[in-house]
Chains A and B, each alone.
Chain A
């Protein structure tokens, strides 16, 4: 294939929508040649996911003005790849010997691979043996992952966990007659014993490298790859129509969330930044992070802005939602509106619904971040070297997430398409409360899973399309850390934009917007109050080239943490 003919067809299939894109090589790099969308056809009466894919490709042929289909399959002129989250995504159960050590690493590997975690088992789990067996039998995951023991370490406890799995005879979610894919990512020296305990009848066992080869090191990559392979070979093939899709491509078919995670990781690595990505869906909220090259993903099930909207209010308390609403909005109306937003999916939202959606989205992201901090934690079980200077610092944080060192925030999901640029930026700033200098972006194109897939076949094309077609810069948020008196000047910024100079400032407790267009770049010098810190130390100036956005520069001198409503504990039911 000549370079001028190089093109890619990428499809992402979720429970409702099948979306196809065409990426083409041009003289200046790569471009998005077309996008099409249709209903997913996995459910009755069609029961064949390939039908929806062909429809999407036929529509793409019309919109892109290119030959996409060759009879009943994609034309060989394009390289075809796909991702999927049908059936609610990849459901997994993980196990380990110690819940906070191997169990937690297995959990991170599964979540990082895009899974929805159904439960976690471990040797130190307080549930009685029989209860673990009963629970395992009731779960029916797509894949099971078990870790435990460092290499050359624990033996008896690992085998005991394997025995538990064997006794439980865990069945796969789809097709009880199939073997359940079981991935072992524990002590490599006892693989044969583990295999022997599990037998060959019930499980399709796969051995990968240990997720904790030594106590102080985590190695999640091989386990994630093992999950992708098992997903491709054992899970996806049982869903109607996927066998045809697999014949069209040489690339692995990824879970949608895994594709998004891979893309965000690649983007953060390419820019050498720390990044937090939030995906606020209808039923779930995913949070992705890349800190100092370490990738993590967490998932809050039943926390979303359609199906999960009432649950957000239940989890956070109505007061935490109403703090983002105009005081004239009646509490009773808000409660009913939230309930109706769960019951009926609206094509368009009324102005009041938009306000409520934005408020609830802030809480969805905040709850998502809270959970994410637990997942993205320091490795437990290993000693941490602390110097004398550490004694004067705050206690070492359990999480690796540091909002003072977050350079980029990316918002994804319907809420960021429904809401204005300003509201979208405020949703992210109010919920994540970043400090220092942070770029705020959103994905309005919904093609991140596609680009995550493209990454595997053309890294440069994926990142170029991501920057040019997918990510929209909203604002650069500048928020100082520390405390000083209300009303004092918190930050002063001196900026040069297109040769002209401007000086702006913000007082403690306030927030200010300074226009700076999407294509504008400013050389800025930020001077914080002598008690406040923007990353260089208290009162120290920070010089930075900042990119504009749809909102511009956002000077946020509100005190952290922002006022929060404390939910009164619910009466036991």
Chain B
């Protein structure tokens, strides 16, 4: 079995970039905090709708142009009328409405169809870690460096999260139940022991916990909590309110003592976690970074 990495004191470099060309807001040598915006940009909205306006109006495609209220480049709101056809001296009216908020990307007077695309999506990436900018990637982002304690988990769900590292259990072999998850854990990274129960997962979501780090989770409980079964080990995009990091594996697994002790050593500090996992040729494990 390959070992998961653990460093008590190391230098972490994180590439922070947006998936498009945009504006980099930091420069070399800048000190950044987890919430510092490193880069921002705009990407095209993937939500595109093709409207058969001729069908909505009940006219032949080449006639549609005569009834259009909007044209290419116009912004439209959801349910806004973009074409109207009145017949029988105004006694019968047919309209074509936009199904989404967005802009008319194209209209063909020949086919009588229009394409509406959702408004562009604002993208931004934050530093996620406190540290220093050691490299700038033109138009896309930067590399942030910090000294930190790092440990990898076996499996994670949910993306990046930060919060104060707190312990809800006294030992690595104690289960994390709903009773241990309290209102004061809101926005914190909660460490459990051997297993997290399905009620505890629900309590974590309800109480606004930032992340849960625990030895194991029962696969059936996880399925019940998520509402679907995990198939391939590619995660990170889940959105159930917090990030879950399993350090050992599925089932009841007391957290490895070395990992538990390392986390215990840094209780009260800021923890920057990422549940993104990819169990494939290019393995990516979930990670807990505690800046020193």
Contacts and interface: CB of A to CB of B under 8 A. Distances in A.
Interface of A: 15-16, 43, 88, 128, 130-131, 134, 283, 302, 307-308, 310-311, 313-315, 331-333, 335-340, 342-347, 570-571, 573
Contacts, number: 82
29 contacts: A88-B281, A283-B280, A302-B232, A310-B230, A310-B231, A310-B232, A314-B229, A314-B231, A332-B218, A333-B251, A335-B218, A335-B220, A335-B250, A336-B249, A336-B250, A336-B251, A338-B219, A339-B249, A339-B250, A339-B251, A343-B154, A343-B249, A343-B250, A344-B2, A344-B154, A345-B1, A570-B229, A573-B226, A573-B228
A573 B227 CA distance: 7
Nearest to B285: A343
B77 to A, nearest CB: 22
Interface string B228-268: 11111100000000000000011100000000000000000
Contacts of A571: 227-228
A343 B219 contact: no
Interface in B34-57: 46, 48, 50
Contacts of B282: 43
B121 interface: no
Contacts of A131: 48
B59 interface: no
B167 interface: no
A341 to B, nearest CB: 10
Given A43-B282, A335-B250, A339-B219, A311 B48 contact: no
B292 interface: no
B12 interface: no
Nearest to B280: A307
Nearest to B115: A130
DSSP class of B's interface residues: helix, strand, loop or mixed? loop
B1 A307 contact: no
Contacts of B48: 130-131, 134
Contacts of B50: 128, 130
A16 B283 CA distance: 12
Contacts of A128: 50
B155 interface: yes
A570 B155 CA distance: 23
Given A343-B250, A573-B228, A336 B1 contact: no
B25 interface: no
B137 interface: no
A344 B4 CA distance: 10
Given A16-B281, A283-B280, 7 more contacts: A130-B115, A283-B281, A310-B230, A311-B232, A340-B250, A342-B233, A343-B249
Nearest to B219: A335
| Majority secondary structure of chain A interface residues (helix, strand, loop or mixed) | helix
A16 B228 CA distance: 32
Nearest to B221: A332
B28 interface: no
Interface of B: 1-2, 46, 48, 50, 115, 154-155, 216, 218-220, 226-233, 249-251, 279-282
A571 B227 CA distance: 8
B46 to A, nearest CB: 7
Nearest to B1: A344
Given A130-B48, A340-B249, A342-B279, A310 B218 contact: no
A283 B282 CA distance: 12
A311 B231 contact: yes
Contacts of A333: 251
A52 to B, nearest CB: 15
Nearest to A306: B279
A347 B219 contact: no
Given A333-B251, A339-B249, A343-B279, A315 B231 contact: yes
User: What are the 8 tightest A-B residue pairs by CB atom distance, in nearest-first order?
Assistant: A339-B250, A336-B251, A311-B231, A314-B231, A336-B250, A335-B219, A573-B228, A340-B249
Nearest to B229: A314
Contacts of B231: 302, 310-311, 314-315
A307 B279 contact: yes
B249 to A, nearest CB: 4
Contacts of A302: 231-232
Contacts of B230: 310, 314, 339
Contacts of A570: 228-229
A275 to B, nearest CB: 29
Contact of B155 (A283, A308, A314, A343): A343
Contact of B233 (A16, A335, A336, A343): A343
A573 B230 CA distance: 12
Contact of B218 (A315, A336, A344, A347): A336
A566 B181 CA distance: 39
Candidate in A332, A335, A343, A347 with the most chain B CB atoms within 10 angstroms: A343
B229 A336 contact: no
Contacts of A343: 154-155, 233, 249-250, 279
A340 B232 CA distance: 12
Nearest to B226: A573
Contacts of B1: 344-347
A134 B228 contact: no
Contacts of B280: 283, 307
A302 B48 CA distance: 29
B219 A336 contact: yes
Nearest to B44: A134
Contacts of A338: 219
